[in-house]
Amino acid sequence: MKEAYAVRRTVPPSAEIQAEIDKLLGKGMVNDPQKMLSELGRLGARLIIQRAVEDEFDQWLGRARYERRPERQRGLRNYDSGLRNGFRPRHVQTAEGELRIEIPQVRETAMPFVSKLFPKWHCKRLLRTDPLKALVIGGFVRGLSMRVVESLCEEAGLGKTSKSTVATICADRHERFEAFCRRSLYDINLVVLFLDAIYLPVRPSGPKEGVMCAWGIDENGHRALVSVRLGARESKEDWLELGRDLISRGLAAPRLVVADGAPGLISAVEEIWPRADRQHCAVHRLRNLQAKLPKSEHDRIRFNYWSALTDATSAKDGKLRLKVLISELEHAGYEAAARCLADDLDALVVHLRYPLRHRERWRSTNLLERSLGEVKRRTKVMGRFPGETSCLTLVWAVLDLFFSHASNGATFTDVDRQHLYRIKYQQADPDTLDEEVTAA
């Protein structure tokens, strides 16, 4: 019987699939390992496609799951104020057989959500995979040893796989990563560049080291991963090396750089891209601010903080609103918190120079942190890496998978493009730009 109604869920379908995978792995190699591996392959394929659809929907809707609409959008019936409305099943043909994928539904929008993977005119699509490469690379991403991967290949009916075959497949992944590190960036023009780092146990012993990542959104609204490299201390020199490498490969200066408030990172960004706007991550700043306040004040200050940034009509207006909050903190006796908020204040509101519909997503590194969260999830089973090559290759592989299955990073209207053009070429007064866009 055809399923005709949307199903509401308290957790996304991808989380349910992940739970099935974890449950299956928890059983170990049971009496029929080939059947188990076949089911793992099906679930793995479903998980990749399901996450791609869910990420595409989040980008289309303009906010992540459980992220509330801004106050000013509630009650409006347009593209930006849509509400999630459950899921409807669709089926796709793959090399692993027919898979069920849950397509998110939406209400209170001018048009329905249509996934690029499941266009209305094509109900099923054949997705081909190379079982051997998928199993080997997937095994290493899950943290399995070479010996275990060899055994899995044989038990899965793929034939006896020699160490040389496994090594060749992994070497191909390393070569692709090296090609990524060398590739030309002359054809990429970024509107916004996000910088952040993740700390991992890169070597068999010793402290965790920083893996620095950089990605952005280009003038066509596409996501572009541009750098994954080691930065042991995440110092100014580490970030300078990353920036110089991007420049040497042809990357033009972005219009906006979004990063946390680490002094070395700030100094490096201002030295490498002196004419670019620098946005101090608003989420990092709020964390720093709350660390200097008693818990009883967290909810009130958090509300006032986000209200000041969300309701501001321009960078100048946002700065004035935050100064009011700084004054309140001072009068309440929270001098350390007031100094924290006042520090680097211009960089905290610079996103308010940019098109209205993109401000909330460009005021923090949350977009990059979300993808790095996927890296943490994939790498936590690894324990310690044997060395930096293995670590960097795996981080890149996970990010590459994440971005390749994600939808476009932004949709620019003609008004947005005119606004961005004036920021880039005419250096117009930022407050005038804000007023024009708000009026439009």
State the maximum Cα–Cα separation within the chain, in Å, rounded to a whole number: 74
- Which residue, among 180, 29, 25, 16, has the nearest Cα to 101 in the 3D structure? 16
Boundary of a domain, candidates 65, 98, 129: 129
Render 297-353 in DSSP notation, one character per residue: HHHHHHHHHHHHHHH-SSHHHHHHHHHHHHHHHHHTT-HHHHHHHHTTHHHHSGGGG
Assess contact for 37 and 45: CB atoms under 8 A: no
Q: Is residue 374 part of a domain?
A: yes
Q: Is residue 432 part of a domain?
A: no
Number of domains in the chain: 3
Q: Are residues 94 and 170 in the same domain?
A: no
Q: Are residues 119 and 149 in the same domain?
A: no
Q: Is residue 428 part of a domain?
A: no
pLDDT at residue 123, rounded to an integer: 45
pLDDT at residue 186, rounded to an integer: 95
Q: Are residues 70 and 160 in the same domain?
A: no
Using CA atoms, how far apart are residues 231 and 247, in angstroms rounded to an integer? 18
Using CA atoms, how far apart are residues 364 and 351, in angstroms rounded to an integer? 9
Rounded (10°) angle between helices 146-155 and 163-182 = 120
Render 343-368 in DSSP notation, one character per residue: TTHHHHSGGGGS-GGGHHHHSSSHHH
Q: Are residues 215 and 359 in the same domain?
A: yes
Helix (H) or strand (E) holding 414: helix 414-421
Q: Is 141 helix (H, G, I), strand (E, B) or coil?
A: helix
Render 27-84 in DSSP notation, one character per residue: T-S-S-HHHHHHHHHHHHHHHHHHHHHHHHHHHHHTS-TTPPPPGGGTT--SGGG-EE
Q: Is residue 8 part of a domain?
A: no
Using CA atoms, how far apart are residues 55 and 76, in angstroms rounded to an integer? 24
pLDDT at residue 96, rounded to an integer: 57
Q: Are residues 173 and 186 in the same domain?
A: no
Q: Are residues 23 and 70 in the same domain?
A: yes
Q: Are residues 86 and 223 in the same domain?
A: no
Q: Is residue 429 part of a domain?
A: no
pLDDT at residue 338, rounded to an integer: 95
pLDDT at residue 176, rounded to an integer: 82
pLDDT at residue 158, rounded to an integer: 45
Residue 201 buriedness (CB in 10 A; 0-12 / 13-18 / 19+): middle
Q: Is residue 422 part of a domain?
A: no
Q: Are residues 86 and 174 in the same domain?
A: no
Q: Is residue 7 part of a domain?
A: no
Locate 325 and state its tokens. 């909050």
First CA to last CA across the chain, in angstroms? 49
Using CA atoms, how far apart are residues 80 and 70, in angstroms rounded to an integer? 10
Using CA atoms, how far apart are residues 375 and 293, in angstroms rounded to an integer? 32
Locate 68 and state its tokens. 């509330």
pLDDT tens across the length of the chain (440 residues): 444 455 556 788 888 888 887 777 666 555 665 566 667 777 777 776 787 788 778 878 777 766 665 554 444 444 445 788 888 888 776 555 677 888 888 887 777 787 766 655 444 443 444 444 545 555 554 444 555 555 555 544 444 555 555 566 566 677 888 899 999 999 999 999 999 998 888 888 889 899 999 999 999 888 899 999 998 777 899 999 999 999 999 999 999 999 998 889 999 999 999 999 999 999 999 999 999 999 999 999 999 999 999 999 999 999 999 999 999 999 999 999 999 999 999 999 999 999 988 999 999 988 777 777 767 766 665 567 778 888 888 788 778 766 765 555 688 889 988 998 888 776 545 555 554 444 44
Q: Are residues 241 and 389 in the same domain?
A: yes
Q: Is residue 285 part of a domain?
A: yes
pLDDT at residue 293, rounded to an integer: 95
- Which residue, among 396, 372, 403, 389, has the nearest Cα to 141 in the 3D structure? 396
Q: Are residues 363 and 349 in the same domain?
A: yes
Question: By residue range, what is the domain housing residue 121?
Answer: 13-129
Residue 156 buriedness (CB in 10 A; 0-12 / 13-18 / 19+): buried
Phi, psi (deg, nearest 5) at residue 317: -65, -40
pTM of the entire predicted model: 0.64
Which residues of 95-134 form beta strands (DSSP E)?
97-107, 126-127
Q: Is 237 helix (H, G, I), strand (E, B) or coil?
A: helix
Q: Are residues 290 and 374 in the same domain?
A: yes
CA torsion, points 83, 85, 91, 95, in degrees to nearest 10?
Answer: 50
Boundary of a domain, candidates 94, 129, 164: 129
Q: Are residues 246 and 350 in the same domain?
A: yes
